[in-house]
Structure 1
Amino acid sequence: MRMSEPTGGARSRPGPAGEHFVVVFAGFHRPWATWIGHRLESHGHRVTLHRWDPRREVPLESALGDLLMASGRLLLVLSDWFFQLGPRRDGEWSEALRGIVAANSERFAAVSLTNRALLPATAVLEPVDLYGIGSQEAERRLLGRLGLPPGPPRRSIPAGPGSRYPGDPPAVWGEVPRRDARFTGRDDLLNQLQEQLTDAEQGTAVCALLGMSGIGKTQLAAEYAHRFSSDYDVIWWVNSDMRGTQRERLGELAAELGLGSGSEPGERIRAVREALRRGDPYGRWLLIFDGWDDIDGAGELLPEGPGHVLITSRNRSWTTQGATPLEVPGFQRHESTGYLMRRAPRITADEATEVAAELGDIPLALVQAAAWLGESDMEVADYLRMVRDGELSGLADQGDFDGVPRSSLTSWSILINRLRETQPHAVELLTLCTSFAPGRIPIGLVRHLPPAELPESLSWLATDLPSWTRALDSLVNYSVFTRDIRGTVPGEPGPEQESVRMHRLVHDIVARLTSPEERAEHRRIVRRMLAAADPGNPQDTRLWPRYAELLPHLEPSGALGSHDERVQETVLNCLHYCHRSGEFRTGIELAEQVRARWTELFPPEHPRMLDLTVRQGNILRSYGVFRAAYEIDRDMLERLRASTPAGPRPGGGTVLMTATSCLAADQRYLGQYTEALQLQREVLNTARELLGPDDYFTLNAHHNLGVCLRLLGRYAEAYDTDLENLRRRESLLRTRHAATLVSGISCARDLRLMGRYRDALARQELGMRMHLQVLGPQHPQTLRAHHNLVLCERRAGGFQDVGAAMASLLEQMEQVHGRGHYATIGLVVDYGNHAREHGDLGHARDLIAEGEAGFRALLGPAHPVTTGMLTNTGLVLQASGERAEALTMFESAYAGLSATLGPEHPWVLGCALNAAAGRNFNGRLDAALELSRDTLRRARHVLGEDHPLTLSCEVALAADLRALREHEEASKVEQDALQRLTRTLGAQHPHALSARQRTRPYWDFEPYLG
């Protein structure tokens, strides 16, 4: 099939011998032309596709005569759009059809794609109707019209771009904006865009449509999606002007692809990206990110794989992200005049040319001008005179309009002020929308408000449905708004679900034409709307799309600085949503904005400030910004303590308790384990006193106490604490409650750290099954349970495929958390230790280096976890034969952790075990023996005589004694260790086998932050 382009190159593919057909179509109907070509080729014919859009100044008979120069028969794809090419008057079409077409009727045939009556003169073409029928009937009618024999195809044409029947939509259609029936021109630009995407190497097909506001980037992207829809199985539109709504929308694709992901946007996004990368279940996909100007963190969202990505943006830095830029210019003059004449048929070609020149061929300005001239009876001369005289030209003097000409701004001013005179309700609705953010506006929410909450002048918004409908229809007709398809329920489009889209430039212009008094009143209304729309439960994942919808409008409505308690609660709920949904970056930015406003409203110790601090700290901590969380929590606690008088005060105890709990959490993550334990005991005692032992907060405080004990290496105490809390949660909540499952993980971790490997594995296997049933495989808590299960299997021995399990889990962790999250980094380290243990030193070196660098960047160089990582680096160096360098790492880890955690912490004992080995391997035998004796003594005191780490210290001591020829003592020590290892772990456990083979034991560091 050959594609003929009048203004740019040709594409050809050799076809079989047979009759030759030239399919002539308007660019708007490319999918139909392509499908017709595929079907004719399958029946053994040659096809040329010819996009036809002759300039208006070329006589129609001449343009049709040029078509006759091609060999073969001409098949015209007729529609309303086809007869608007130019545009041309009906009389010119009728004359040409009765003239040159009738004279060459044997060369012409036609299909019709409209359900409206065509011009009577089209009877000469004998068009066959393909509108609203299935593919088989359409093919039968097509062949019949061309006089071709029916029957099965003569040759098989592989399914490919454009081969799908246009009446069959893609398998996944992601709410692309409605197709603009008045879309004009841009054919060459659309074809260039398709070539860039199609010709790009797989995995790099990203194109950014760049240009100023109002130039038509969004309309171009929407038209591309419709025009080339038959090239794709998945087309998904993502509004990207706000990061939170962008991520929520992209994550929604997971369900459409049938992916078994969880509810958090981050988790779903990573599942989507992985499915797109694999091309499973669909390899032909198109993602459109509309209005993506902030490219920070774009790499976390941009997918790779066999599909295509299209971005619209004003940011010209997309090349740094690997996108191919495509500049979107203004209309060409013939496109401008053609659009104006189609939208406002009463104006002449000369008048259209004059208007287009005055407005600089900017599409958005032309849309407004065409709507005004088409809907009103104003003469073009009067319209141009007002534009040139600069009515309300002061608007342009305010600047910051992204290069939009003064004439365009004046044109908008004219429209809005004329509407103010003739349709005041429309302007009231329009100005109300400027108190939302530009883009998608859920305007129907206003009809949820009781009329009493609206000023008398605006009560009609909630009570007068006919006025509401007229106002909205008028604004749509004048192209001020477009209706948003997400805002209505299919088959039941009620006004309460109404949403519109408002261009940022129009939003800015209308806002500047609104009086401060109106603006203040409308912002109050929108704030009440947002509060009324708040579902009130940000923990319910089913309600997250609503919170994502509210987020963009908090700041423009003034909600962040509102004195209204309901609005303040909505702001806090949106912050809670950001935390629960994993939208940490959005939450951090929002929390900073709220703090700046609330600092002016409330004293630092006010309960609202405490609520804000708790939510802000939770978000910062979850994102890994531990120091910032600590600073705001410490400041809050100090202020509360200073302002709280001695003795009981109603509510004061719970406020202090909450603030203390937050600071204790920060201290745990910052490595201040002793201080955290002290504060956590205080929190737990206060919770028991004020709330009772069975309150949910008390149970959480009990759980956090166990975390503190575990971080301090007091594993038996942690286990007793966690086991008691597990039993209480099972009784008070339920066995399948998420908090109960967390306690199960803690108990299994305690058992593993106590050396009770088989007990730990049995408990965690059951816990893992429960997590899969209750929370699903991709939930962050399930991944935490899975991580602990893999470590239990590794320590228990006998599990042959721990490495494969770790690799698979790491892939899931990266999808859910990202590579730089502390949970993922911890698994990277454990995987590296396993790789080293099994001889894959290259992989181990890379993973351990990544983990060490990650924790150093996240926690700083002096954190216990960062220090402990040095011993893992040393083990890799030692396995590689770099013994002197390894000893340096071992000694640094040992000295550093001894200074911060004390000599008896299990982490310190493990580092001492490795340091003694390093001394031995470097010939420092006396120093090795001395350290081994001391380490064994401390291990027996801290962990007990039968703990695996204690027994490893005993095996190491025997090796150091042998090295100094103390054979009698070495034999006695070794025999005792072997007996205890066999009794404790079993004769076939890897530790016991290694001890019998006299392999020097080691200890690898498992990073844990709590």
Structure 2
Amino acid sequence: MVDQRRSGGTGAAGDRGGQNGPEHFLVVFPGYHRPWANWIAQRLEAHGRRVTLQRWDPPREVPLEEALGDLLLSTGRVLLVLNDWFFELGPRAPGEWNDVLRGYVADQAERFAAVNLTNRQLPPATAVLEPVSLWGTGEDEAEERLLGRLGIEYRRGAGRRSPAVSSRFPNTPPEIWGEVPRRNGRFTGRDDLLTELQSRLTEAERGNSACTLLGMSGIGKTQIAAEYAHRFSTDYDVIWWVNSDDRNIQRDRFGELAAELGLHSGSEPGERIRAVRDALRRGEPYSRWLVIFDGWDDTEGANVLLPHGPGHTIVTSRNRGWGDHTDVLEVPSFDRAESTAYLMRRAPHITSAQADEVAAEFSDVPLPLVQAASWLGESRMEVPEYLRMVREGRLSAVDEPVGDGFPHSSLTSWSILINRLRRTQPQAVEVLSLCASFAPGRIPLGLARAYPQADLPEDLRWMSTDLPAWTRALDTLVNYSVLTRESRGPVNTEMGPHQETVHMHRLVHDIVSRLTNDEHRDAHRKAVRTLLAEADPGNPLDSRQWPQYAELLPHLEPSGALSSRNSRVQAAVLNCLRYCVRSGEFTAGTRLAEKIRNYWTTFMDPLDQQMIDLTTQQTNLLLAAGSNREAYELGRALRDRLRAAQPRDELGELSVNSGLAGSLRRLGRYEEALELQRQVLEDAERLLGGNELISLSARHNLGVGLRLLGRYREAYELDQETLSRRESVLRARHITTLNSGNAIAHGLRLLGLYRDAVARQEPVVRLHVQILGPLHPQTLSARKQLALARRREGGFPQDVGMLMDSLMEQMEQVQGRTHYTTLSFINDYGNYQREHGDLARAKDLIAEAEAGYRALLGPAHPVATGMLANTGLVMQAAGDRGEAMSMFESALAGLTATLGADHPWVLGCALNASGGRNFNGRVADAADLSRDTLRRSRRVLGDEHPLTLSCQTALAGDLRALREHEEADKVEADALLTLTRTLGAQHPHTLSARQRNRPYWDFEAYLG
């Protein structure tokens, strides 16, 4: 195998290779030691030498003397990069290396030199190469030793380049190294594949350097990705490994990189992810990064997680859909030489022909070959007997195919191993059976030792008390390549037994589950459920505990925790669900809640407290995801049961009614929602007191209901009281106190007090960013309120436009384009674009928001109806006045029917409709509507509200069109005077009224 690079050095030197020019060195290395070869080449070039790199793994069919002789065809000297692995290449027959070293190499000793990278024993005759040891040295010492061995004068610091443009010294780890699996000392072959992977990543278009290793289970994708991380580690400053079998673990793990990068982000997973992606995109603080997503089979969410920027991304997957997102590199089986080499190294007693026969039996698929090699090497069984057992085995429990092209014969091979362990190491089988009761992938096995108080079955109690037996059992399974130990550091840092985490390949998990399905399975699954319950941190609202919940989550269903009747386990399951609500994992949480309900309804009374708690959390998740009707039906069914039950469960009714009130608000049934919310607040204060968290939330939600009904003054006064109580009870920095601050600013804006709203919201936003981070959903809501207040204040529209533009992108990243919060801002941004000249973009945005709300809420919902007003304004601005009037009249009629004639939304639609009538020649009708609207607005909003003054300005225009100039002038003068006094002479509303532009009202989509 050859991998060559020639480099020209600078500076004079004698040519010991027989040619004029700088001295030449051929650096020969196994692919495993590429980082050392690159560093050696850099140091030699820095001292004026020419270097060629040659990856070397000669086939064992080629005599060793001939292979070494080919190296001497190069000019100059041959530098061998040695360790014990170097002498296992091939592999060679025992003694072959010593014979060649004593003979051929000794005769050519002046052409050969060597460095030694290990402290382990090498063949005795290696002494002829006089290898200089670089093992365990620092960079300066290693360079001095290397040059000294080659007779080159050492100049400290010569040619040192920035780490950004050169490889680091191999003993210096990257700045950030995140849970990359330990390097597999038995990694075999794949050199060409690794070289191809590196080539694709480095030659890809900057900013989009991502490659997926695609292949069936057991083909070695994870091992290749891990080897790439180790082999090319000197080319990166950040290497971050993300286990992606489970979406929640994946998101939490990727988000953990934010802290390592020193980013200021909040605790919510989505927020950390966005901060990480932004930092990687900008290449700050590191531009040389590698992120590896291992086992990412579901491409959903790829656009949200997949990073772009100057670094590289590797995905391992079985899903060919990754071709739509990344470059794809197919991972084939071993070639036959790789298979036989691996087998012969692990089981030195077998012959080449026997290794070939075993490789053929398992179709050169790495995973079963690893197990076969482990078995043959440990047991010393002869190959004919082993293959006979594999071929003649009859396993009724595993007759069905494993799938993915996995060789069926390997099932028998695994059966042989497990049967032997039952006889010789039964405790290893017990550990194996326990692992099979977790989900595949990352398994927190140390829980068995971390919680000795757990009620484990008798056959597992030794795990928490007998540390030597525990260690022996794990070592056995690792030696037989059934499990791998996981490490959190760049070196093999040992963790305590209670922290032990192992990884079981999903295919191995599947096979082991079938082969260990004995009478202990139910007891072992119960043990796992017990351990998960013990490991529950107990506080899913604390973001510091979220990584632990993310680790527990995938094991709930495989362990049977979702169907458990144990109250402690049920509490842990509910806490995991609360974690999904709090952390923003709405999709995963919704799926989990539905699974829990499917299990619990088979044995649990619908009115049990656990079912009520489940309904509360499921309602929260459904509402957060925009599934409003489903949330309402779920709550209503439980409410009806609670009402019919005796005795009454008042706290249960309180919980369910709170969710129902929220559902009714989202469904546009505002009067019903307000009535029910008043009852919730009354019950909460009666049962719990006025200052409990539930009571304060009920008071806040009552303010939301009042705002939706247009009762802005009442809502504002109630919000002030809620804020005061929350500041007193919960303090100013509590998340719900911050939310009350948002409500206050929103109320001030709706009351037309724009400058007050800006002044109030600016410090609220600063607190949100400081406490929750800039991209937390509640922070985005606060920033939106500030943007809208600044727009209404009328100061610097360009600044508002830039703010809204960046906020639009971030809201889409947080919730997606079709989520109700994003649709609301799309609508707001469309109104801004229409007002400031980009009519084409405004048309697209308003159409998108209207269609989105109709699909989400239905066409009769007040918000979907109100969107017609904005569509009409776009049409009117484009000159289509007839269609615009039709939209205005439809919005007015629809909202009047659902909200009544005095709702501010209806008054705004009436303002637009009067303008439409005026522009279409129906001046008398316009004046009648304007007069009626002004009267209602004064009664509802007051004489000085901006909407009232807009209605007054509109009426003046209609009167003037009717030639009633005296009344028109009086109405107009009064409006201008009030506008000047309240908003200022230079406010856009005042200037527009003075210029006699027809006023309009744009609709803000607000769901509460």
Task: Give the shorter-chain TM-score range.
Answer: over 0.9
Deviation by residue 1:123-175 (Cα, 9 ceiling, x = unmatched): 22222222222222222222222222322677676756762221222222111
Within the candidate set 665, 673, 676, 1:676 is matched to: 673
CA drift of 1:514 comes to: 2.2
Q: Which residue of the partner structure matches residue 435 of structure 2?
A: 433
Where do residues 304-319 of structure 1 align in structure 2 (5 Å cutoff)? 304-319=308-323
Provide the rounded CA distance (Å) in 2 between the counterparts of 1:133 and 1:576.
Answer: 51
8 Å Cα contact 2:182/2:492 also seen in 1: no
Q: Which residue of the partner structure matches residue 644 of structure 1?
A: 645
8 Å Cα contact 1:488/1:498 also seen in 2: no
Q: Which residue of the partner structure matches residue 475 of structure 2?
A: 473
Where do residues 223-262 of structure 1 align in structure 2 (5 Å cutoff)? 223-262=227-266
Provide the rounded CA distance (Å) in 1 between the counterparts of 2:343 and 2:725.
Answer: 74
Q: Percent identity?
A: 66
Deviation by residue 1:480-506 (Cα, 9 ceiling, x = unmatched): 111111499996621111111111122
Q: 1:353 to 1:161 in 2, by over 3 A?
A: farther
Deviation by residue 1:408-440 (Cα, 9 ceiling, x = unmatched): 111111000100011111111111110000111
Provide the rounded CA distance (Å) in 1 between the counterparts of 2:657 and 2:289.
Answer: 50
Provide the rounded CA distance (Å) in 2 between the counterparts of 1:789 and 1:836.
Answer: 20
Q: Which residue of the partner structure matches residue 212 of structure 1?
A: 216
CA drift of 1:393 comes to: 3.1
Which 10-residue stretch deviates more, 782-791 or 842-851? 842-851
SS at match of 1:111: strand
SS at match of 1:1007: coil
Deviation by residue 1:534-593 (Cα, 9 ceiling, x = unmatched): 011000111111100100100000000000000001110000001101111111111111
Q: Which residue of the partner structure matches residue 504 of structure 2?
A: 502
Deviation by residue 1:935-993 (Cα, 9 ceiling, x = unmatched): 11221121111111000110111112222222111101101101111222222322122
Q: Which residue of the partner structure matches residue 138 of structure 2?
A: 134
SS at match of 2:989: helix
Deviation by residue 1:309-329 (Cα, 9 ceiling, x = unmatched): 21111222222x322222222
Q: Which residue of the partner structure matches residue 915 of structure 1?
A: 913
Provide the rounded CA distance (Å) in 2 between the counterparts of 1:680 and 1:983.
Answer: 38
Deviation by residue 1:912-953 (Cα, 9 ceiling, x = unmatched): 212222222233323322221221122112111111100011
SS at match of 2:208: coil
Q: 1:14 to 1:916 in 2, by over 3 A?
A: farther
Q: Which residue of the partner structure matches residue 988 of structure 2?
A: 990
SS at match of 2:309: coil
1:457 aligns with 2:459: yes
Q: 1:156 to 1:733 in 2, by over 3 A?
A: closer
Where do residues 77-88 of structure 1 align in structure 2 (5 Å cutoff)? 77-88=81-92
Deviation by residue 1:282-325 (Cα, 9 ceiling, x = unmatched): 22222211111122232222122222221111222222x32222
Provide the rounded CA distance (Å) in 2 between the counterparts of 1:178 and 1:979.
Answer: 77
CA drift of 1:77 comes to: 0.9
8 Å Cα contact 1:44/1:154 also seen in 2: no
8 Å Cα contact 1:932/1:957 also seen in 2: yes
Q: Which residue of the partner structure matches residue 946 of structure 2?
A: 948
Provide the rounded CA distance (Å) in 2 between the counterparts of 1:595 and 1:541.
Answer: 26
1:889 aligns with 2:887: yes
1:756 aligns with 2:753: yes
8 Å Cα contact 2:180/2:489 also seen in 1: no
Q: Which residue of the partner structure matches residue 59 of structure 2?
A: 55
SS at match of 2:51: strand
Q: Which residue of the partner structure matches residue 929 of structure 1?
A: 927
Provide the rounded CA distance (Å) in 1 between the counterparts of 2:770 and 2:308.
Answer: 31
8 Å Cα contact 1:161/1:230 also seen in 2: no
8 Å Cα contact 2:5/2:52 also seen in 1: no
Provide the rounded CA distance (Å) in 2 between the counterparts of 1:213 and 1:765.
Answer: 54
Where do residues 534-933 of structure 1 align in structure 2 (5 Å cutoff)? 534-641=536-643, 643-645=644-646, 649=647, 652-799=649-796, 801-933=799-931
Provide the rounded CA distance (Å) in 2 between the counterparts of 1:38 and 1:870.
Answer: 68
8 Å Cα contact 2:267/2:772 also seen in 1: no
Provide the rounded CA distance (Å) in 2 between the counterparts of 1:80 and 1:551.
Answer: 43
**Code of the aligned partner of 2:903:** H
SS at match of 1:312: strand
**Code of the aligned partner of 1:702:** R
Within the candidate set 343, 349, 352, 1:346 is matched to: 349
Q: State the TM-score, normalized to the length of structure 1.
A: 0.95
SS at match of 2:310: coil
Q: 1:128 to 1:881 in 2, by over 3 A?
A: farther
Provide the rounded CA distance (Å) in 2 between the counterparts of 1:823 and 1:197.
Answer: 37
SS at match of 1:306: strand
Gaps of 5+ in 2: 11-20
**Code of the aligned partner of 2:865:** T
CA drift of 1:799 comes to: 4.3
Where do residues 5-44 of structure 1 align in structure 2 (5 Å cutoff)? 6=2, 18-44=22-48
Where do residues 341-380 of structure 1 align in structure 2 (5 Å cutoff)? 341-380=344-383
Where do residues 142-153 of structure 1 align in structure 2 (5 Å cutoff)? 142-151=146-155
Provide the rounded CA distance (Å) in 1 between the counterparts of 2:772 and 2:963.
Answer: 58
Which 10-residue stretch deviates more, 398-407 or 702-711? 398-407
CA drift of 1:737 comes to: 2.2
Deviation by residue 1:219-269 (Cα, 9 ceiling, x = unmatched): 111111111222222211111111111111111111112221111111111
8 Å Cα contact 1:832/1:843 also seen in 2: yes
Which 10-residue stretch deviates more, 83-92 or 437-446? 83-92
**Code of the aligned partner of 1:446:** A
8 Å Cα contact 2:164/2:288 also seen in 1: no
Q: 1:758 to 1:162 in 2, by over 3 A?
A: closer
8 Å Cα contact 2:216/2:318 also seen in 1: yes
Provide the rounded CA distance (Å) in 2 between the counterparts of 1:878 and 1:35.
Answer: 69
Within the candidate set 270, 275, 278, 1:274 is matched to: 278
Which 10-residue stretch deviates more, 766-775 or 453-462? 766-775
Deviation by residue 1:855-903 (Cα, 9 ceiling, x = unmatched): 3333333322222222223323333333333333323322222222222
8 Å Cα contact 1:845/1:876 also seen in 2: yes
**Code of the aligned partner of 1:659:** V
8 Å Cα contact 1:372/1:415 also seen in 2: yes
Q: 1:44 to 1:890 in 2, by over 3 A?
A: farther
Q: Which residue of the partner structure matches residue 939 of structure 1?
A: 937
1:295 aligns with 2:299: yes
Q: Which residue of the partner structure matches residue 333 of structure 2?
A: 330
**Code of the aligned partner of 1:597:** Y
1:73 aligns with 2:74: no
Q: Which residue of the partner structure matches residue 14 of structure 2?
A: none
Provide the rounded CA distance (Å) in 1 between the counterparts of 2:430 and 2:158.
Answer: 63
1:168 aligns with 2:172: yes
Provide the rounded CA distance (Å) in 1 between the counterparts of 2:664 and 2:437.
Answer: 42
Q: Which residue of the partner structure matches residue 17 of structure 2?
A: none
Which 10-residue stretch deviates more, 867-876 or 766-775? 766-775
**Code of the aligned partner of 1:182:** R
8 Å Cα contact 1:584/1:619 also seen in 2: yes
**Code of the aligned partner of 1:509:** I
Within the candidate set 958, 961, 966, 2:959 is matched to: 961
**Code of the aligned partner of 2:141:** E
Provide the rounded CA distance (Å) in 2 between the counterparts of 1:79 and 1:892.
Answer: 82
Q: Which residue of the partner structure matches residue 1003 of structure 2?
A: 1005
Provide the rounded CA distance (Å) in 1 between the counterparts of 2:491 and 2:617.
Answer: 34
Within the candidate set 38, 44, 50, 1:46 is matched to: 50
Where do residues 385-404 of structure 1 align in structure 2 (5 Å cutoff)? 385-390=388-393, 392-404=394-406
Q: Which residue of the partner structure matches residue 415 of structure 1?
A: 417
8 Å Cα contact 2:765/2:783 also seen in 1: yes
Q: 1:876 to 1:149 in 2, by over 3 A?
A: farther
Provide the rounded CA distance (Å) in 2 between the counterparts of 1:147 and 1:91.
Answer: 31
Provide the rounded CA distance (Å) in 2 between the counterparts of 1:955 and 1:521.
Answer: 79
Which 10-residue stretch deviates more, 292-301 or 74-83? 292-301
8 Å Cα contact 2:4/2:52 also seen in 1: no
